[in-house]
Structure 1
Amino acid sequence: MSDDQTIAVDVRNAVKRYGDFTALKEISLAIRDNEFFTLLGPSGCGKTTLLRMIAGFEDVTEGGIFLFGDEIESLPPNKRPVNTVFQNYALFPLMTVLENVSFGLEMLGTAKTEARKRAGEMLELVQLTQFANRKPSQLSGGQQQRVALARALAPNPKVLLLDEPLSALDLKLRQTMRFELKEIQRETGITFIFVTHDQEEALTMSDRVAVMSAGALQQLGDARDIYERPHNMFVADFIGETNLLEVTVDKVEGARALCHLGGGHALGCEATEGVGAGAHVHLSVRPERLYLSDAPVADESLKGTVRHNIFVGTDIQSIVDLEDGPRMTVRTSNSDRGNKRIFEPGTTAFINMERGAARLLVD
């Protein structure tokens, strides 16, 4: 996605205060047209507050919000060309599915015949045409979620806001709906702004992810960038699983840094801007980027003792205590492919890292 694309939603130094409490701290985001953009973070981080500010349900204390270049702060929610899909779907129980989808259009002044025609098109888009005459109570959770989505899409909003719409669904259905939502976003070409606390949802669906914590933006990037190159401890720890190791940086030479951790173990890694020689910081290493051997394969192989092996279906987690050092987790794929070995608890093994696996963090 090129940087010269049209900006759909431009959040400029937005601040939200409730009395003495600051819920959002100078958030700036440029969300592109036709982008699936996700606000990711734990409960209370400010992601839903920001979504509600874009929708017009919350006022902006400081800063500004622009939609396709136009200031929208003064517009009430019903005058903004955005729609919201809520966590609880908020369907009308006494109306049929078709009536639920067409209701909003009729309230906007669309003729009933045209509204029903548009509602039928939206039900076809979400593959619910055969359920048009049913009541919401006669549908599954996933079907109700798609009705809410069809209703929100019917007025053809410029931006669709989705506030944790999958959280009430069971795991298998959530996984199915992730791909359906992404496909619908591609088909409609509408900008989606999606709020979730689920890291897997964010990584699998998004063009870009904004990671938030305590009202502040921690990192912005595509899924691979966020996962492979976390900027700080919060992002590294919140996104997926990682080994966080306390290290001291011994020297930095060009794009490489040499550091050591407890027990004198030396490690090389990519240098990180803002982290120089003498710094006491953390190193992040994803468990799947490590592998075990019975002899060192490089100068930086780490010797340790396997304490536990945990079977987790697709992988086997090996918990390894380094000699005079920290405990680390190594993930080995549960497959016969590749040259790998599972070491029994109590045996000595060497931990080896793939090139580029270690990431210095700006704590």
Structure 2
Amino acid sequence: MASQDIAVSVDQVVKHYGNFTALHGVSLDIRESEFFTLLGPSGCGKTTLLRAIAGFESVSEGHILLKGEDLTGLPPHQRPVNTVFQQYALFPHMTVLENVMFGLLRKGWSKVEAVRRGQDVLDLVQLAEFAKRKPTQLSGGQQQRVALARALAPRPEVLLLDEPLSALDLKLRQSVRSELKALQRETGIAFIFVTHDQEEALTMSDRIAVMSNGRVQQIGSPKEIYEAPVNRFVADFVGETNLLDVEIASIDGGTASVVLPGGTPFTCPAATVLDPGRGHLSARPERIRITAPGDAHLDAVVTGHTYLGTDIQLQVRLSDGEVMSVRLQNSETTSVPEVGQTIGLQLEEGAARLLAD
């Protein structure tokens, strides 16, 4: 990819806090007009990386470039990026329009220009009719859109979003997701979005960087991250999975031959080249079919089931004591196996993957 297609380049960035290292040589490229998500649990380094891009955190080593220009060492106000935080920090004594205009006036825009631009971005986020209201007169979702409008008003090259939906309730969060993605497409600028919510990441992102312990574990499209995880952390963190201990017989050209618990041979994709020995297989619960025992990849005893609305989740135990989860679509299920019943488990093609570690 040509360098001019890259909005932000993070090059071997390290961040130390005393004896603690928050970022361990992180490198990644974020493309122009891309919705890019930093996904991971609390303390993984994703917010530290976002704050380093914004200039709120200095880097101990490495460089951060925006469209080829090295930003390392520049203070936040000299970087052509804006940030939307978890707490929207709107001024309660100002109107919605005045909140949006505030940063523009601080940057030296004339009042006429600031009013015009403020009205434009409020129209973009569908809040033009609320321009004269105070933030306290708005819902949480509307306040979030005001914060977005304020951040977009100066026409930043990149918009940084630090878990901006976390304060919203579930239904509103789901609604705002689609609005935020549509807004990113309409503005055409790169959004860098931080979240610990895997569903949020999968539904909104063009690409995702999964982070753990200050390191990037995998970068890819939502489909790649979910269907082709490279290691146990990614497989377990993104979505639900079963991690099975297997014996690796051989690997040839990215295809692994393994022996499942119970002794059944099985062939599946491999995340990397591994030596024969013990390994871990990831199998998604919704990609496992129930069949008659004795004629399947695995035999198991049903130990419980949970009604989840669209799905029924079965808990089963294999002969070696390993516990697995199986999801059945309610629309396709005519009968649910009883607790204590022995069933067969058939892994669909592409359902399982041998992981790197």
TM bucket, shorter chain:
over 0.9
**Kept after mapping to 1: 8 A contact 2:272/2:355:** no
Matches of 1:139 and 1:57, distance apart in 2: 29
TM-score under structure 2 length normalisation = 0.96
Matches of 2:114 and 2:356, distance apart in 1: 53
**Kept after mapping to 2: 8 A contact 1:261/1:325:** no
Q: Please show how residues 148-227 of structure 1 align to structure 2 within 5 Å.
A: 148-227=147-226
The DSSP-based 3-state class of the residue aligned with 2:93 is coil
**Kept after mapping to 1: 8 A contact 2:10/2:65:** yes
Q: Which residue in 1 is equivalent to 2:343?
A: 349
Q: Which residue in 2 is equivalent to 1:293?
A: 291
Q: Which residue in 2 is equivalent to 1:360?
A: 354
Q: Which residue in 2 is equivalent to 1:329?
A: 325
Matches of 1:200 and 1:212, distance apart in 2: 15
Amino acid at match of 1:301: H
Q: Deviations over 1:148-174 (max 9, x none)?
A: 000000000000000000000000011
**Kept after mapping to 1: 8 A contact 2:58/2:73:** no
Matches of 1:18 and 1:315, distance apart in 2: 45
**Kept after mapping to 2: 8 A contact 1:81/1:158:** yes
Shift of 1:253: 3.9
**Kept after mapping to 1: 8 A contact 2:12/2:61:** yes
Shift of 1:5: 6.3
**Kept after mapping to 1: 8 A contact 2:261/2:298:** no
> Does the C-alpha gap of structure 1 residues 231 and 305 become closer, same or farther in structure 2, counting only changes over 3 Å?
same
**Kept after mapping to 2: 8 A contact 1:262/1:325:** no
TM-score under structure 1 length normalisation = 0.95
2:103 is the alignment partner of 1:104: yes
Q: Which residue in 2 is equivalent to 1:83?
A: 82
The DSSP-based 3-state class of the residue aligned with 1:217 is strand
The DSSP-based 3-state class of the residue aligned with 1:263 is coil
Q: Which residue in 2 is equivalent to 1:282?
A: 280
The DSSP-based 3-state class of the residue aligned with 1:335 is helix
Shift of 1:76: 1.2
Q: 1:318 aligns with which of 308, 314, 321?
A: 314
Q: Deviations over 1:86-143 (max 9, x none)?
A: 1000101100000000111111111101101110111111111111111111111100
Q: Which residue in 1 is equivalent to 2:259?
A: 260
Matches of 1:71 and 1:290, distance apart in 2: 49
> Does the C-alpha gap of structure 1 residues 321 and 265 become closer, same or farther in structure 2, counting only changes over 3 Å?
farther
Amino acid at match of 2:331: S
**Kept after mapping to 1: 8 A contact 2:46/2:194:** yes
> Does the C-alpha gap of structure 1 residues 274 and 59 become closer, same or farther in structure 2, counting only changes over 3 Å?
same
Give runs of ≥4 in structure 1 deviating > 4 Å. 2-5
Shift of 1:258: 1.9
Identify which range, 313-322 or 264-273, moves more after superposition: 264-273
Matches of 2:208 and 2:283, distance apart in 1: 21
Matches of 2:270 and 2:123, distance apart in 1: 51
The DSSP-based 3-state class of the residue aligned with 1:306 is strand
Q: Which residue in 2 is equivalent to 1:232?
A: 231
2:301 is the alignment partner of 1:302: no
Amino acid at match of 1:292: I
> Does the C-alpha gap of structure 1 residues 75 and 271 become closer, same or farther in structure 2, counting only changes over 3 Å?
closer
Q: How many residues of Structure 1 are paired with residues of Structure 2 in the alignment?
A: 357
Matches of 1:296 and 1:131, distance apart in 2: 65
**Kept after mapping to 2: 8 A contact 1:293/1:341:** no
**Kept after mapping to 1: 8 A contact 2:254/2:273:** no
> Where does structure 1 lack aligned partners over 5 or more consecutive residues?
none
Shift of 1:356: 1.4
**Kept after mapping to 1: 8 A contact 2:231/2:271:** no
Matches of 1:229 and 1:64, distance apart in 2: 30
Calculate the aligned-residue CA RMSD, in Å: 1.5
**Kept after mapping to 2: 8 A contact 1:45/1:214:** yes
Amino acid at match of 1:314: T
Shift of 1:340: 6.3
Shift of 1:347: 1.5
Amino acid at match of 2:71: I
> Does the C-alpha gap of structure 1 residues 4 and 224 become closer, same or farther in structure 2, counting only changes over 3 Å?
farther
Q: Which residue in 2 is equivalent to 1:42?
A: 41
> Does the C-alpha gap of structure 1 residues 5 and 303 become closer, same or farther in structure 2, counting only changes over 3 Å?
farther
> Does the C-alpha gap of structure 1 residues 286 and 69 become closer, same or farther in structure 2, counting only changes over 3 Å?
same
Identify which range, 102-111 or 323-332, moves more after superposition: 323-332
Shift of 1:322: 1.7
Shift of 1:305: 1.4
**Kept after mapping to 1: 8 A contact 2:4/2:68:** no
The DSSP-based 3-state class of the residue aligned with 1:50 is helix
**Kept after mapping to 1: 8 A contact 2:10/2:27:** yes
